[in-house]
Structure 1
Amino acid sequence: MTVDAPTSPRPFHRLDISAPEFWKNDFRTRDDTFAALRAEDGLSWHPPTPSIFPHAETGFWAVTRHSDIQHVSRNHELFCSSQGVSMDPMPAEIQRAMTFFLAMDPPEHTRYRRLINIAFTPRQIRLIEDQIRTSAREIVDELVADLEANGTVDFAAEYSRKMPMRTISDMIGVAPEDREKIADAVESLFGASDEEYSSLEERAPHLMTQLAILAGVGTELAAARREDPRDDLMTNIVNAEVDGHRLTDEEIGAFMVLLGSAGNDTTKQASSHALAALVDHPEQRDWLLADFDARIDGAVEEFVRWSTPVIHFARHATEDTEVAGTRIDAGEKVVLFYCSGNRDESVFHRPHEFDITRTPNPHVGFGAPGPHSCLGRQLAKMELRHLFHELLTRLPDISVGEPEYVHSDFVHGIKRMPISLR
């Protein structure tokens, strides 16, 4: 059962973006509501989302305009992450277990980010790109064979998750037999609000089970690499040191949760959304293929803007402050809706049109500038670049069926999406 929220200090906005029913609408329908909020002065105040955890939250401020998202993201002294980064009321310790250093503030966040960053040596990056190139070719080999044998394949359920999962597994040395277990845990963790993965009554133990699976893989790998170092990212991570600090096994377990979720689900969703959009816009696919190497980087930016795999992150005001003329009291939650910022009419011409020629493209699909800008953005771009080279050059004529979406206020996800040869 859900937990009743405390009394709000102010009236809630007439447009309800907290109710689960709102998030059952499609992306375009939801943005009609966000567009109305963007058009109003200031920020809007909304009730807490239904929660399975006891909490004292009275509501949150919705940050829906591109410029306001940028402002909050850049000013980490005024808007902290350590009190939680989820719109959904949830204990901070669970959020930290799910997001590791995303739920920290500088200087602690800076130290952990540096610890991870220094593990990505130039040699490691070259090795990772070689692995990605090979994985993309192998995955599309499998996809082509599957399509030729069966006619129709569920790209979202069977193939879009293979690229990021193989990349992560190769990077840190996950055994092939453990890959599906990790992918399943990630999908069910971030689809927890979807009844297909867990009922409301099962949601809390379900979350803890998936967290334990992912963290367990990380701690086991860390222990193994200390005993038997190899030429992989996990060995670099256990040996990385900043200001005399190394990651503990518990911290590496938390990093595994972050890597598995941010590194897997985001790229998975972007590839499904982008493939569907390119099939719907064959003239753009043809334009891209006419000079793929020169055009793919700009196209990937539109893939991410269009799909916006991560819908939101939250912050909390550290002191009384103001955003867009609205007073925010110390301790109050603000939720940055990237889904809204990426459709802001004041920034993007024809925001509801997919356009891989769009330039400039200052989307917030990787978050906005600031200390929490996405650490894995270059890795995600690399994966999408190599995967779409294989997909578009080897499968030039496919059809895409109706996607089935994840019911979630956090992930803009596709659960199932059939594709077939024409």
Structure 2
Amino acid sequence: MPETSELTSAHAFHPLDISAIAFWEKDFRNRDDTFAELRAVDGLTWHRPTESMFPHEETGYWAVTRHADIRHVSQHPELFSSSNGISMDPMPAEIQRSMTFFLTMDPPEHTRYRRLISMAFTPKQVRRIEAQIEANAKRIVGELLDDLDSGEPVDFTDAVSKKLPMLTISEMIGIHPDEHEAVAFAAESVFSASDDEYAGGLEEQAVFLMTQLGILTGAGVELAKKRRLDPRDDLMTNIVNAEVDGHRLTDDEIGAFMVLLGSAGNDTTKQTTSHAFKALIDNPDQRRWLLEDLEGRIGGAVDEFIRWSTPVISFARHAAVDTEIAGTPIAAGEKVVLFYCSGNFDDQVFDDPYRFDLDRFPNPHVGFGGGGPHFCLGKQLAVMELKHLFTELLTRLPDVELGDPEYVRSDFVHGVKRMPIRRV
């Protein structure tokens, strides 16, 4: 298979190179200066493929950077398909399917699987999950207070951000406590494999990614088998028993769902927590405003947490037919990449988008996707986690100062690796 450099493209690459590793090493704000230029261009811009850990024959992609265009693509699955993969980076569709399960499906297949998963979240299960979230949020913040009493810096991402979402997922589906850490690391690694801290070099990154996928898949398959033999009052039991139109999930399908739940359900909330906490410390006026009526304002604040953080940077689609976006002809089979990180800072939609504004209304962010059939299934769970966790943080945490965060290098997840805090 030819190297990327040998491939030919039907379109000229735009001079602003958003595929380069160096571009994704810039901070979020500086990257958006480039995206702002792309948003101002008539139509779409064509870009070279990113460097990939897998051999491929891709010739490039269209960058979808405006809020309106992201929503248009998201809401028309008959024009823009997910079945050939949703990754900006070139990657075999079958590997993407093992990572993202029904995200790489189109209706009606996607609809059936989404209904199967949704059926498992019964009102009783949702109440049970929320009670667990509330109790865990209280415990996590209590442990953070104890750690801060030492006077030494505490890594907020390790002590807080990563704990609640992984505990939530592990407890609601019944993962044994002894396996929490391994599953949490594997889930985090799936989204961060392109960062050299996790694996160096493209070949090593590919092996590392496949290893972590195996851990998550294996955990899901093993747990599904156990619940078929020994049902419990947990979400996994509901998942193995869910049925739509005579169809039930196989163990292998549940293993694939475990990857999606462990990575998407864990890492996105984790990253939002870190970014939102930093924003609250950096904007004390916003924190004071929120505390004036925490119960009444936290719902709207969570929307701004997610817009500001944009934990998922991009997803891709492929044109199912010849079509167009913003006047640009798109040929069937061509790849389009939806840059949520750009759409959430589009000044045609958001007044003063670089201002962290908890009273922003309306706030039509695309942090949960741009609508359509792939709108985030985990939205309710993420909102519950963020509401309970920040209620505890805002009402119990003393004044702290932040050290410099360290960020994950990725074109998929807006990640914070470490963020030290200490009591003032």
Superposition TM-score, scaled by structure 1 size: 0.99
SS of residue matched to 2:417:
strand
C-alpha displacement at 1:224, in angstroms?
A: 0.6
**Equivalent residue for 1:207, pick from 202, 206, 209:** 209
C-alpha displacement at 1:399, in angstroms?
A: 1.2
The code of the aligned residue for 1:281 comes to: N
1:299 — aligned with what?
Answer: 301
The code of the aligned residue for 2:32 comes to: D
C-alpha displacement at 1:194, in angstroms?
A: 0.6
Change (3 A) 1:5 1:384: farther
Change (3 A) 1:2 1:301: farther
Query: Are residues 1:46 and 2:47 paired?
Result: yes
Distance 1:387 1:376 in 2: 17
Distance 2:49 2:392 in 1: 44
> Is the 2:307–2:365 contact (alpha carbons within 8 Å) kept by the matching residues of 1?
yes
2:176 — aligned with what?
Answer: 175
1:77-116 equivalences under 5 Å are 77-116=78-117
Distance 1:2 1:96 in 2: 24
SS of residue matched to 2:422:
strand
Deviations 1:35-82, CA, capped at 9 Å, x for gaps: 000001000000000112121211000000000000000000000000
1:355 — aligned with what?
Answer: 357
SS of residue matched to 1:126:
helix
The code of the aligned residue for 1:246 comes to: R
Query: Are residues 1:290 and 2:292 paired?
Result: yes
The code of the aligned residue for 1:337 comes to: F
Runs of 4+ with >2 A deviation? 1-5
C-alpha displacement at 1:3, in angstroms?
A: 4.9
Unaligned runs of 5+ in 2: none
C-alpha displacement at 1:157, in angstroms?
A: 2.8
C-alpha displacement at 1:5, in angstroms?
A: 5.3
C-alpha displacement at 1:282, in angstroms?
A: 1.0
Distance 2:76 2:136 in 1: 39
> Is the 2:4–2:58 contact (alpha carbons within 8 Å) kept by the matching residues of 1?
no
The code of the aligned residue for 1:131 comes to: Q
> Is the 2:308–2:356 contact (alpha carbons within 8 Å) kept by the matching residues of 1?
yes
Query: Are residues 1:33 and 2:37 paired?
Result: no
Deviations 1:143-193, CA, capped at 9 Å, x for gaps: 111111243100113321000001001110111111111111112221111
Unaligned runs of 5+ in 1: none
The code of the aligned residue for 1:265 comes to: D
CA RMSD of aligned residues (A): 1.1
2:233 — aligned with what?
Answer: 231
**Equivalent residue for 1:402, pick from 404, 409, 418:** 404
Deviations 1:384-418, CA, capped at 9 Å, x for gaps: 00000111111041111111000000000000000
Identity among equivalent positions (%) equals 68
1:260-275 equivalences under 5 Å are 260-275=262-277
Distance 1:52 1:308 in 2: 25
1:255 — aligned with what?
Answer: 257
> Is the 2:271–2:416 contact (alpha carbons within 8 Å) kept by the matching residues of 1?
yes
1:19-168 equivalences under 5 Å are 19-168=20-169
Deviations 1:85-138, CA, capped at 9 Å, x for gaps: 001000000000010000000011000000000000001100010000001001
The code of the aligned residue for 1:390 comes to: E
**Equivalent residue for 1:245, pick from 244, 247, 251:** 247
> Is the 1:219–1:250 contact (alpha carbons within 8 Å) kept by the matching residues of 2?
yes
